[in-house]
Chain A
Amino acid sequence: MNKEYVLEKVQDIFRDIFDDETLIIKQETSPNNIEDWDSLAQINLIVAIEKDFDIKFNLEEIQKLRNVGDTLALIFQKINKNENS
């Protein structure tokens, strides 16, 4: 699974959760840039990412996430772990 594919898939998830087909996410995109990114949206994002990529996060990992870049890095880490196991 390459980085472009993952980014595209995560962007689709963001567009679905925030109901905005024009939304473009960047590495630095964070709750500061998206008004509707509240605690419930965060739950919906993480749940959708876990389902779509068939990965699991733990609470400690989630609490460290500050922006989209951190989230993408964590997804890659999980995917690589899955592919190498």
Chain B
Amino acid sequence: MNQYRFDDIVLGMAHSFDVVITEEMVENFINITNDTNPLHSNDSYAKDKGFAGRVAFGMLVASFYSTLAGVYIPGKFSLLHGIDVSFNSPVYISDKLTIFGEVAYMNELYHQIEIKAYITRNKKKISKAKIKVGFHE
């Protein structure tokens, strides 16, 4: 886990990591949220609606933006202020995703940074986000 303080951050600082979406993740997400929508829980329903299979929850995919801020930039001292996120393409079980973020703005007064982030699958962007992060002591 990185431990960047505001003064360690520079514009353009970037980090990335990979993750594979598993069936267990999707099941755990259902257990946590009780979102039992069949698009995510029923393979034949999802296929019948024109998808390749059960669609991973957008919010499950977006949860890795939390990991980006909380573990990579800035890491330990992160305090999430907000995320604007878009979902540009469905994600399926077994998809390998790359989460990337780059510091695009720094506010010295409030020690808040903005991270331009996106998630790719085979180099194609499946989600984009603007993340505002502060710091705790």
Which residues of A come within 8 Å of B, CB atoms?
A: 40, 43-44, 46-47, 50-51, 56-59, 62
Contacts and interface: CB of A to CB of B under 8 A. Distances in A.
Nearest to B134: A43
A7 to B, nearest CB: 22
Interface of A is mostly: helix
Interface residues of B, number: 10
B110 A46 contact: yes
B108 interface: yes
B105 A56 contact: no
A50 B81 contact: no
B120 interface: no
Contacts of A43: 81, 110, 112, 134
Nearest to B105: A51
B59 to A, nearest CB: 20
B31 interface: no
B81 A40 contact: yes
A43 B108 CA distance: 11
B108 A47 contact: no
Contacts of B82: 40, 44
A59 B105 contact: no
Contact of A57 (B109, B132, B134): B109
B107 interface: yes
Nearest to A58: B109
Interface string B93-127: 00000000000010111101000000000000000
24 contacts: A40-B81, A40-B82, A43-B81, A43-B110, A43-B112, A43-B134, A44-B81, A44-B82, A44-B132, A46-B109, A46-B110, A47-B107, A47-B109, A47-B110, A47-B112, A50-B107, A50-B109, A51-B105, A56-B108, A56-B109, A57-B109, A58-B109, A59-B109, A62-B109
